[in-house]
Chains A and B, each alone.
Chain A
Amino acid sequence: MAKLSASRLPGILSDSVRHIISDWLTSLKASPDGRLPAAELEAQCESIVTRLAQACREGNLTDIDTSAFAPLRDVLADVSRTRALQGFSPTEAATFILSLKQPLFARLRIVLASDPERLASDIVTMSELIDLLGLFMMETFQRAREEVILRQQTEISELSTPVVKLWEGILALPLIGTLDSARTQIVMENLLDSIVRYEADIAIIDITGVPTVDTLVAQHLLKTVAAARLMGADCIISGIRPQIAQTMVHLGVELNVVSKANLSDAFALALRRLGKMVVNQRRAVPADPA
Protein backbone atom coordinates (compact mmCIF):
# COMPACT_ATOMS: atom_id res chain seq x y z
CA MET A 1 0.00 0.00 0.00
CA ALA A 2 2.77 2.39 1.00
CA LYS A 3 4.73 1.31 -2.06
CA LEU A 4 1.74 1.87 -4.29
CA SER A 5 1.18 5.48 -3.21
CA ALA A 6 4.90 6.31 -3.11
CA SER A 7 5.28 5.24 -6.70
CA ARG A 8 3.08 7.92 -8.29
CA LEU A 9 3.21 10.95 -6.00
CA PRO A 10 6.76 12.06 -6.95
CA GLY A 11 5.85 11.88 -10.64
CA ILE A 12 2.66 13.89 -10.19
CA LEU A 13 4.51 16.53 -8.18
CA SER A 14 7.32 16.89 -10.73
CA ASP A 15 4.84 17.23 -13.59
CA SER A 16 2.72 19.82 -11.76
CA VAL A 17 5.39 22.11 -10.28
CA ARG A 18 4.37 25.05 -12.53
CA HIS A 19 0.64 24.64 -11.80
CA ILE A 20 1.13 24.35 -8.06
CA ILE A 21 3.39 27.40 -7.87
CA SER A 22 0.98 29.60 -9.82
CA ASP A 23 -2.08 28.38 -7.82
CA TRP A 24 -0.24 28.89 -4.54
CA LEU A 25 0.85 32.40 -5.51
CA THR A 26 -2.69 33.29 -6.57
CA SER A 27 -4.06 32.26 -3.19
CA LEU A 28 -1.23 34.01 -1.27
CA LYS A 29 -1.64 37.21 -3.26
CA ALA A 30 -5.35 37.23 -2.44
CA SER A 31 -4.30 38.54 0.98
CA PRO A 32 -1.18 40.60 0.25
CA ASP A 33 1.21 41.59 3.01
CA GLY A 34 3.09 44.89 2.78
CA ARG A 35 6.15 43.53 4.60
CA LEU A 36 6.84 41.03 1.83
CA PRO A 37 7.70 42.24 -1.70
CA ALA A 38 5.94 40.26 -4.43
CA ALA A 39 9.21 39.31 -6.11
CA GLU A 40 10.57 37.84 -2.89
CA LEU A 41 7.38 35.89 -2.28
CA GLU A 42 7.47 34.47 -5.80
CA ALA A 43 11.10 33.40 -5.44
CA GLN A 44 10.35 31.74 -2.09
CA CYS A 45 7.32 29.82 -3.39
CA GLU A 46 9.14 28.68 -6.47
CA SER A 47 12.16 27.32 -4.63
CA ILE A 48 9.99 25.63 -1.99
CA VAL A 49 7.80 23.78 -4.51
CA THR A 50 10.72 22.87 -6.77
CA ARG A 51 12.72 21.49 -3.89
CA LEU A 52 9.69 19.70 -2.46
CA ALA A 53 9.20 17.89 -5.77
CA GLN A 54 12.88 17.06 -5.92
CA ALA A 55 12.92 15.76 -2.34
CA CYS A 56 9.87 13.58 -3.06
CA ARG A 57 11.65 12.02 -6.03
CA GLU A 58 14.68 11.12 -3.97
CA GLY A 59 13.51 10.55 -0.44
CA ASN A 60 11.07 9.01 1.97
CA LEU A 61 7.87 11.08 2.27
CA THR A 62 7.43 10.38 5.98
CA ASP A 63 10.85 11.47 7.18
CA ILE A 64 12.04 15.04 6.52
CA ASP A 65 15.28 14.56 8.46
CA THR A 66 16.89 12.64 5.59
CA SER A 67 19.52 14.15 3.29
CA ALA A 68 17.03 14.25 0.37
CA PHE A 69 15.13 16.96 2.24
CA ALA A 70 18.24 18.98 3.13
CA PRO A 71 17.83 21.60 0.34
CA LEU A 72 14.15 22.06 1.24
CA ARG A 73 15.00 22.35 4.95
CA ASP A 74 17.60 25.00 4.13
CA VAL A 75 15.19 27.19 2.22
CA LEU A 76 12.43 26.77 4.84
CA ALA A 77 14.83 27.64 7.66
CA ASP A 78 15.90 30.70 5.73
CA VAL A 79 12.30 31.79 5.08
CA SER A 80 11.20 31.37 8.69
CA ARG A 81 14.30 33.11 10.04
CA THR A 82 13.76 36.17 7.83
CA ARG A 83 10.08 36.21 8.83
CA ALA A 84 10.96 36.10 12.51
CA LEU A 85 13.27 39.07 12.00
CA GLN A 86 10.67 40.93 9.91
CA GLY A 87 8.30 40.70 12.86
CA PHE A 88 5.77 38.17 11.55
CA SER A 89 3.70 36.37 14.19
CA PRO A 90 4.17 32.60 14.66
CA THR A 91 0.68 32.03 13.21
CA GLU A 92 1.50 34.02 10.08
CA ALA A 93 4.72 32.09 9.58
CA ALA A 94 3.01 28.71 9.99
CA THR A 95 0.03 29.64 7.81
CA PHE A 96 2.42 30.35 4.95
CA ILE A 97 3.63 26.76 4.53
CA LEU A 98 0.26 25.24 5.53
CA SER A 99 -1.42 27.21 2.74
CA LEU A 100 0.51 25.04 0.28
CA LYS A 101 -1.95 22.22 1.04
CA GLN A 102 -4.85 23.76 -0.90
CA PRO A 103 -3.15 24.05 -4.34
CA LEU A 104 -1.38 20.72 -3.81
CA PHE A 105 -4.57 18.83 -3.01
CA ALA A 106 -6.43 20.56 -5.82
CA ARG A 107 -3.81 19.29 -8.24
CA LEU A 108 -3.97 15.75 -6.84
CA ARG A 109 -7.76 15.78 -7.19
CA ILE A 110 -7.47 16.63 -10.88
CA VAL A 111 -4.75 14.12 -11.71
CA LEU A 112 -6.15 11.26 -9.60
CA ALA A 113 -9.82 11.86 -10.35
CA SER A 114 -10.20 8.33 -11.68
CA ASP A 115 -8.65 6.67 -8.65
CA PRO A 116 -10.38 7.90 -5.47
CA GLU A 117 -8.73 5.34 -3.22
CA ARG A 118 -5.23 6.44 -4.14
CA LEU A 119 -6.31 10.09 -4.05
CA ALA A 120 -7.39 9.68 -0.42
CA SER A 121 -4.19 7.97 0.66
CA ASP A 122 -1.99 10.45 -1.23
CA ILE A 123 -3.74 13.41 0.35
CA VAL A 124 -3.14 11.94 3.81
CA THR A 125 0.55 11.37 2.98
CA MET A 126 1.04 14.91 1.65
CA SER A 127 -0.92 16.45 4.51
CA GLU A 128 1.31 14.74 7.06
CA LEU A 129 4.40 15.80 5.14
CA ILE A 130 3.33 19.47 5.04
CA ASP A 131 2.50 19.33 8.76
CA LEU A 132 6.04 18.09 9.44
CA LEU A 133 7.44 20.93 7.36
CA GLY A 134 5.23 23.38 9.28
CA LEU A 135 6.55 22.12 12.60
CA PHE A 136 10.09 22.39 11.31
CA MET A 137 9.45 26.00 10.29
CA MET A 138 7.98 26.80 13.70
CA GLU A 139 11.06 25.41 15.41
CA THR A 140 13.40 27.52 13.29
CA PHE A 141 11.15 30.54 13.81
CA GLN A 142 11.30 30.06 17.57
CA ARG A 143 15.06 29.60 17.50
CA ALA A 144 15.50 32.80 15.48
CA ARG A 145 13.45 34.72 18.07
CA GLU A 146 15.56 33.25 20.88
CA GLU A 147 18.72 34.27 19.06
CA VAL A 148 17.41 37.84 18.89
CA ILE A 149 16.72 37.86 22.63
CA LEU A 150 20.13 36.41 23.42
CA ARG A 151 21.87 38.98 21.23
CA GLN A 152 19.94 41.79 22.91
CA GLN A 153 20.96 40.49 26.33
CA THR A 154 24.62 40.58 25.38
CA GLU A 155 24.18 44.03 23.88
CA ILE A 156 22.50 45.34 27.02
CA SER A 157 25.17 43.95 29.33
CA GLU A 158 27.92 45.48 27.20
CA LEU A 159 26.13 48.78 26.73
CA SER A 160 25.43 49.34 30.38
CA THR A 161 28.94 48.85 31.72
CA PRO A 162 31.16 51.48 30.15
CA VAL A 163 34.21 52.67 32.05
CA VAL A 164 34.96 56.35 31.39
CA LYS A 165 38.13 58.28 32.08
CA LEU A 166 37.33 61.51 33.92
CA TRP A 167 40.86 62.77 34.39
CA GLU A 168 44.43 61.55 34.32
CA GLY A 169 44.30 58.69 36.86
CA ILE A 170 40.56 58.93 37.61
CA LEU A 171 38.01 56.49 36.21
CA ALA A 172 34.23 56.40 36.59
CA LEU A 173 32.01 53.34 36.31
CA PRO A 174 28.34 54.36 36.08
CA LEU A 175 26.28 51.27 36.91
CA ILE A 176 22.76 51.00 35.52
CA GLY A 177 20.09 48.39 36.17
CA THR A 178 20.12 45.05 37.92
CA LEU A 179 23.46 43.77 39.13
CA ASP A 180 22.95 40.06 38.63
CA SER A 181 25.96 37.79 38.75
CA ALA A 182 26.59 37.50 35.01
CA ARG A 183 26.71 41.27 34.55
CA THR A 184 28.73 41.89 37.69
CA GLN A 185 31.38 39.64 36.23
CA ILE A 186 31.58 41.84 33.09
CA VAL A 187 31.58 45.02 35.21
CA MET A 188 34.45 43.72 37.30
CA GLU A 189 36.53 42.67 34.29
CA ASN A 190 35.91 45.98 32.51
CA LEU A 191 36.92 48.00 35.53
CA LEU A 192 40.07 46.01 36.28
CA ASP A 193 41.14 46.12 32.63
CA SER A 194 40.61 49.87 32.49
CA ILE A 195 42.58 50.42 35.71
CA VAL A 196 45.57 48.84 33.99
CA ARG A 197 44.97 50.54 30.65
CA TYR A 198 44.59 54.08 32.03
CA GLU A 199 47.01 53.60 34.94
CA ALA A 200 44.27 54.80 37.26
CA ASP A 201 44.71 55.57 40.95
CA ILE A 202 41.07 56.20 41.75
CA ALA A 203 37.92 54.52 40.45
CA ILE A 204 34.50 56.02 41.14
CA ILE A 205 31.65 53.50 41.11
CA ASP A 206 28.38 55.35 40.60
CA ILE A 207 25.22 53.45 41.60
CA THR A 208 22.64 56.16 40.84
CA GLY A 209 21.11 53.87 38.21
CA VAL A 210 20.84 50.75 40.41
CA PRO A 211 17.22 50.54 41.64
CA THR A 212 17.72 48.02 44.45
CA VAL A 213 20.79 47.45 46.58
CA ASP A 214 20.39 44.23 48.52
CA THR A 215 23.02 42.08 50.21
CA LEU A 216 24.00 40.34 46.97
CA VAL A 217 24.58 43.66 45.18
CA ALA A 218 26.51 44.94 48.21
CA GLN A 219 28.63 41.81 48.21
CA HIS A 220 29.40 42.24 44.49
CA LEU A 221 30.35 45.88 45.06
CA LEU A 222 32.65 44.99 47.94
CA LYS A 223 34.36 42.28 45.91
CA THR A 224 34.91 44.69 43.01
CA VAL A 225 36.34 47.27 45.42
CA ALA A 226 38.63 44.67 46.99
CA ALA A 227 39.92 43.53 43.60
CA ALA A 228 40.57 47.13 42.50
CA ARG A 229 42.44 47.74 45.74
CA LEU A 230 44.68 44.75 45.05
CA MET A 231 45.60 46.41 41.78
CA GLY A 232 46.56 49.59 43.56
CA ALA A 233 43.47 51.67 42.85
CA ASP A 234 41.20 53.20 45.48
CA CYS A 235 37.45 53.17 45.00
CA ILE A 236 34.84 55.76 45.84
CA ILE A 237 31.16 54.81 45.69
CA SER A 238 28.81 57.57 44.64
CA GLY A 239 25.11 57.99 43.94
CA ILE A 240 23.72 56.41 47.10
CA ARG A 241 20.22 57.89 47.29
CA PRO A 242 18.56 58.58 50.69
CA GLN A 243 16.14 55.65 50.52
CA ILE A 244 18.96 53.28 49.54
CA ALA A 245 21.10 54.56 52.42
CA GLN A 246 18.28 53.93 54.93
CA THR A 247 17.62 50.49 53.53
CA MET A 248 21.29 49.53 53.71
CA VAL A 249 21.48 50.58 57.35
CA HIS A 250 18.49 48.37 58.20
CA LEU A 251 19.95 45.49 56.24
CA GLY A 252 23.11 45.82 58.28
CA VAL A 253 25.37 46.16 55.26
CA GLU A 254 28.50 48.16 55.83
CA LEU A 255 30.39 49.37 52.82
CA ASN A 256 33.88 50.01 54.13
CA VAL A 257 34.52 52.37 51.27
CA VAL A 258 34.51 56.14 50.98
CA SER A 259 31.13 57.12 49.60
CA LYS A 260 29.59 60.33 48.34
CA ALA A 261 26.02 61.33 47.55
CA ASN A 262 26.71 62.20 43.94
CA LEU A 263 29.26 61.77 41.20
CA SER A 264 30.42 65.41 41.25
CA ASP A 265 31.32 65.27 44.97
CA ALA A 266 33.18 62.02 44.38
CA PHE A 267 35.08 63.59 41.47
CA ALA A 268 36.02 66.63 43.59
CA LEU A 269 37.34 64.31 46.31
CA ALA A 270 39.32 62.30 43.76
CA LEU A 271 40.92 65.47 42.36
CA ARG A 272 41.84 66.62 45.88
CA ARG A 273 43.47 63.30 46.63
CA LEU A 274 45.60 63.55 43.52
CA GLY A 275 46.66 67.06 44.50
CA LYS A 276 44.72 68.75 41.72
CA MET A 277 42.66 71.86 42.10
CA VAL A 278 39.94 73.45 40.03
CA VAL A 279 40.40 77.26 39.94
CA ASN A 280 38.68 80.14 38.21
CA GLN A 281 40.84 81.33 35.35
CA ARG A 282 39.21 84.78 35.30
CA ARG A 283 36.60 86.52 37.35
CA ALA A 284 33.77 85.41 35.10
CA VAL A 285 33.10 84.62 31.48
CA PRO A 286 34.06 87.86 29.66
CA ALA A 287 31.58 89.42 27.30
CA ASP A 288 32.27 89.04 23.61
CA PRO A 289 35.04 91.65 22.85
CA ALA A 290 33.68 92.29 19.38
Chain B
Amino acid sequence: MARSTVPIRNGEDVVRVRQEVRRLAIEAGLGLVDQTKVVTAASELARNTLDYGKGGQAVMDIVQNGARRGVRIVFEDNGPGIADIELALKDGYTSGKGMGLGLGGARRLCNEFAIVSTPGKGTMVTIARWK
Protein backbone atom coordinates (compact mmCIF):
# COMPACT_ATOMS: atom_id res chain seq x y z
CA MET B 1 0.00 0.00 0.00
CA ALA B 2 1.06 3.56 -0.54
CA ARG B 3 3.32 4.71 2.27
CA SER B 4 4.90 8.05 2.58
CA THR B 5 7.26 9.59 5.10
CA VAL B 6 7.46 13.33 5.66
CA PRO B 7 10.16 14.79 7.91
CA ILE B 8 8.93 17.58 10.18
CA ARG B 9 11.58 20.23 10.71
CA ASN B 10 9.88 23.55 10.03
CA GLY B 11 6.56 25.24 9.35
CA GLU B 12 6.57 24.34 5.66
CA ASP B 13 6.81 20.65 6.55
CA VAL B 14 3.54 20.95 8.46
CA VAL B 15 1.95 22.15 5.21
CA ARG B 16 3.49 19.18 3.38
CA VAL B 17 2.10 16.76 5.99
CA ARG B 18 -1.38 18.22 5.41
CA GLN B 19 -1.04 17.91 1.63
CA GLU B 20 0.19 14.31 1.81
CA VAL B 21 -2.54 13.29 4.25
CA ARG B 22 -5.18 14.89 2.03
CA ARG B 23 -3.79 13.07 -1.01
CA LEU B 24 -3.89 9.69 0.76
CA ALA B 25 -7.35 10.37 2.23
CA ILE B 26 -8.70 11.06 -1.27
CA GLU B 27 -6.96 7.93 -2.56
CA ALA B 28 -8.51 5.87 0.25
CA GLY B 29 -11.93 7.17 -0.78
CA LEU B 30 -12.72 9.22 2.33
CA GLY B 31 -15.56 11.74 2.02
CA LEU B 32 -15.03 15.48 2.26
CA VAL B 33 -15.91 15.69 5.96
CA ASP B 34 -13.66 12.75 6.90
CA GLN B 35 -10.85 14.18 4.76
CA THR B 36 -11.10 17.52 6.52
CA LYS B 37 -11.17 15.85 9.94
CA VAL B 38 -8.11 13.69 9.41
CA VAL B 39 -6.17 16.52 7.72
CA THR B 40 -6.97 18.85 10.63
CA ALA B 41 -5.95 16.22 13.20
CA ALA B 42 -2.71 15.61 11.29
CA SER B 43 -2.06 19.34 11.20
CA GLU B 44 -2.42 19.58 14.99
CA LEU B 45 -0.14 16.60 15.65
CA ALA B 46 2.47 17.69 13.09
CA ARG B 47 2.65 21.08 14.76
CA ASN B 48 2.98 19.42 18.18
CA THR B 49 5.83 17.29 16.80
CA LEU B 50 7.52 20.48 15.62
CA ASP B 51 6.83 22.79 18.57
CA TYR B 52 7.01 20.42 21.53
CA GLY B 53 8.95 17.43 20.13
CA LYS B 54 11.61 19.67 18.50
CA GLY B 55 10.95 18.03 15.12
CA GLY B 56 10.49 14.44 13.98
CA GLN B 57 8.62 12.68 11.21
CA ALA B 58 5.22 11.54 10.05
CA VAL B 59 4.74 8.13 8.42
CA MET B 60 1.41 7.66 6.66
CA ASP B 61 -0.27 4.66 5.07
CA ILE B 62 -3.50 3.66 3.46
CA VAL B 63 -4.78 0.77 5.56
CA GLN B 64 -7.38 -1.88 4.86
CA ASN B 65 -9.53 -3.69 7.40
CA GLY B 66 -11.83 -6.07 5.58
CA ALA B 67 -13.92 -3.90 3.30
CA ARG B 68 -13.04 -0.68 5.12
CA ARG B 69 -10.25 1.51 3.96
CA GLY B 70 -8.65 4.34 5.83
CA VAL B 71 -5.57 6.38 6.54
CA ARG B 72 -3.16 5.78 9.40
CA ILE B 73 -0.50 8.26 10.41
CA VAL B 74 2.29 7.82 12.94
CA PHE B 75 4.02 10.90 14.34
CA GLU B 76 7.37 10.33 16.01
CA ASP B 77 9.78 12.66 17.75
CA ASN B 78 12.78 12.38 20.04
CA GLY B 79 11.79 15.34 22.14
CA PRO B 80 11.31 15.71 25.90
CA GLY B 81 8.23 13.44 25.98
CA ILE B 82 4.99 13.95 27.90
CA ALA B 83 5.06 13.29 31.65
CA ASP B 84 1.29 13.30 32.24
CA ILE B 85 -0.65 12.19 29.16
CA GLU B 86 -4.08 12.58 30.81
CA LEU B 87 -3.27 16.19 31.62
CA ALA B 88 -1.95 16.86 28.12
CA LEU B 89 -5.20 15.53 26.63
CA LYS B 90 -7.31 17.82 28.81
CA ASP B 91 -8.97 20.62 26.87
CA GLY B 92 -7.48 24.00 27.62
CA TYR B 93 -4.23 22.66 29.07
CA THR B 94 -1.06 23.70 27.28
CA SER B 95 2.59 23.88 28.24
CA GLY B 96 3.18 26.33 25.41
CA LYS B 97 1.31 29.25 23.86
CA GLY B 98 -1.47 27.41 22.00
CA MET B 99 -5.13 27.00 22.85
CA GLY B 100 -4.62 23.62 24.52
CA LEU B 101 -7.11 21.93 22.22
CA GLY B 102 -4.86 20.27 19.64
CA LEU B 103 -4.13 16.89 21.22
CA GLY B 104 -7.63 16.31 22.64
CA GLY B 105 -9.17 17.69 19.46
CA ALA B 106 -7.12 15.33 17.30
CA ARG B 107 -8.38 12.40 19.42
CA ARG B 108 -11.99 13.49 18.85
CA LEU B 109 -11.41 13.88 15.10
CA CYS B 110 -10.15 10.32 14.58
CA ASN B 111 -11.47 6.78 14.94
CA GLU B 112 -8.25 5.49 16.46
CA PHE B 113 -5.87 7.36 18.69
CA ALA B 114 -2.88 6.01 20.60
CA ILE B 115 -0.12 7.84 22.34
CA VAL B 116 3.11 6.40 23.74
CA SER B 117 5.57 8.68 25.45
CA THR B 118 8.71 8.21 27.50
CA PRO B 119 9.87 11.34 29.31
CA GLY B 120 13.33 12.27 28.05
CA LYS B 121 13.11 9.91 25.05
CA GLY B 122 10.28 11.06 22.83
CA THR B 123 6.66 10.65 21.84
CA MET B 124 4.80 8.55 19.30
CA VAL B 125 1.20 9.34 18.36
CA THR B 126 -0.77 7.05 16.04
CA ILE B 127 -4.08 8.08 14.51
CA ALA B 128 -6.40 6.45 11.98
CA ARG B 129 -9.56 7.56 10.24
CA TRP B 130 -11.77 5.00 8.53
CA LYS B 131 -14.16 5.49 5.68
Contact = CB atoms under 8 A, between A and B. Distances in A.
Interface in A188-224: 211-216, 218-219
Contacts of B40: 212-214, 247, 251
Say what secondary structure dominates the interface of chain A: helix
Interface in B35-67: 35-37, 39-40, 43-44, 47
B91 A212 contact: no
The range of chain B's interface size is: 20 to 34
Contacts of A251: 40, 44, 101, 105, 108-109
B36 A244 contact: yes
Contacts of A31: none
Contacts of B108: 250-252
B9 interface: no
A286 interface: no
Contacts of A243: 32-33, 35-37
A20 B127 CA distance: 66
Contact of A212 (B11, B32, B36, B105): B36
Interface in A244-284: 244, 246-247, 250-253
Contacts, number: 62
Given A243-B33, A243-B36, A246-B37, A178 B101 contact: no
Nearest to B11: A180
Interface in B74-131: 91, 98-99, 101-102, 104-105, 108-109
Contacts of B44: 214-215, 251
A246 B33 CA distance: 8
A250 B11 contact: no
Contacts of B33: 242-243, 246-247
A181 interface: yes
A241 to B, nearest CB: 8
Contacts of A252: 91, 101, 104-105, 108
A214 B40 CA distance: 6
Interface string A163-182: 00000000000000010110
Nearest to A181: B11
A213 B40 CA distance: 7
A211 B32 CA distance: 11
Nearest to B12: A180
Nearest to B99: A215
B18 interface: yes
A247 B36 contact: yes
Of listed A212, A218, A242, residue having the most chain B CB within 10 A = A212
Interface string B7-41: 00001000100100000000000001101110110
Q: Closest 7 CB pairs between A and B?
A: A251-B105, A243-B36, A214-B43, A243-B33, A250-B108, A215-B99, A215-B101
Interface of B: 11, 15, 18, 32-33, 35-37, 39-40, 43-44, 47, 91, 98-99, 101-102, 104-105, 108-109
Given A215-B98, A215-B101, A247-B40, 20 more contacts: A212-B18, A212-B40, A214-B40, A214-B47, A214-B102, A215-B44, A215-B99, A215-B102, A219-B98, A243-B33, A243-B36, A246-B33, A247-B33, A250-B105, A250-B109, A251-B44, A251-B109, A252-B101, A252-B108, A253-B101
